[in-house]
Amino acid sequence: MGIRFQETLYGDEVFQGFTADELLFEGATPYQKVQIFATKRWGKVLVLDGIVQTTEKDEFVYHEMLTHVPLFACAAPKRAMIVGGGDGGILREVLKHPIDHVDMVEIDRTVVDYCITHMPTLNNAGGIYKDPRVDLVIEDAFEFIKREKHKYDVIMVDSTDPVGAGEVLFSRTFYDLCRSALNPGGVLALQNGVIILQPHESRQSMQLLRDLGLKARCYGIAVPTYYGGNMMLGLASDSLAALQPDLPTLQARFTAANFSTVHYTPELHCASFVLPRWQQEITGGLA
């Protein structure tokens, strides 16, 4: 029968699960419980604290859209930061761009190491960390940003849900640190949860970012292994232009970048900002 897994994100209301052939890794770190399963349908699956984080089958949707949307929203980004992202998928996509430098700040070394071992397609078997443009920092990103005071063109927050170690990454204080770390015209991108089940995440983050003087809006993606339908990703900047995608501009930037994608296209970039009315009401539209 295999190993049966049921997600615990919504407490007693268990909505999703899967059957795994093998538990490849299980361990408790100072920050979270880490599990990696092998399945027939989803490939390798990373689970943190009982919540599915990513699968080999559909990881490209989330990773491409959280990376290429903010990077192509900027005219010529040179310095980037990834908050979290221990599986390596975001960094893999960032390195397709002509970036000069990227800081990847991940709190849990265990996630990095075991994803290299068991989920090598997400991180080129660890090869992404050998790129001279990359500085992998194992530290709490909150403390790193506060201390280092580096400036970035793009910051991508690849966080867990706002529980445990990830809770601070949804706070006004953290967003203010990110705002201070952005260059003029820079873009902050973040995950905002599945909107029909977690409407408070996108509503609160958009309001906090606007209260800090940034322009902010959400765009939608659909990842099959995140239960509940459309997931919201957020974008914030002091530049309104970065949040109003222009198709000819995006097509020119994508052509100049000269790399292939599985999911992202300039057309999809534009379309992902077209939200149903009820989602606009939750997220506040463009403000």
Which residue in the list 108, 158, 176, 211 is annotated as catalytic? 158
For 259, phi then psi, to 5°, come to -140, 160
Residue 154 pairs in a beta bridge with 80, 187
**HSE-up of 256 (CA within 13 Å, CB side)?**
10
Enter the tokens of residue 127: 């090869």
Enter the tokens of residue 162: 């706002």
Distance CA 75, CA 196 (A): 33
Edge-to-edge strand ranges of the sheet holding 43-48: 22-28, 33-39, 43-48, 51-55
Distance CA 38, CA 142 (A): 33
- Residue given tokens 């490849």 in the structure block: 24
Distance CA 280, CA 202 (A): 10
Q: Name which of 98, 151, 99, 90 is nearest 124 in CA terms.
A: 90
12 catalytically annotated: no
Residue type, 278: W
Interaxial angle between packed helices 59-73 and 247-257, expressed in degrees from 0 to 180 and rounded to the nearest 10:
110
For 202, phi then psi, to 5°, come to -70, -35
- Residue given tokens 């997220």 in the structure block: 283
Helices (H) and strands (E) in the chain, counts: 9, 13
**Catalytic machinery residues:** 158
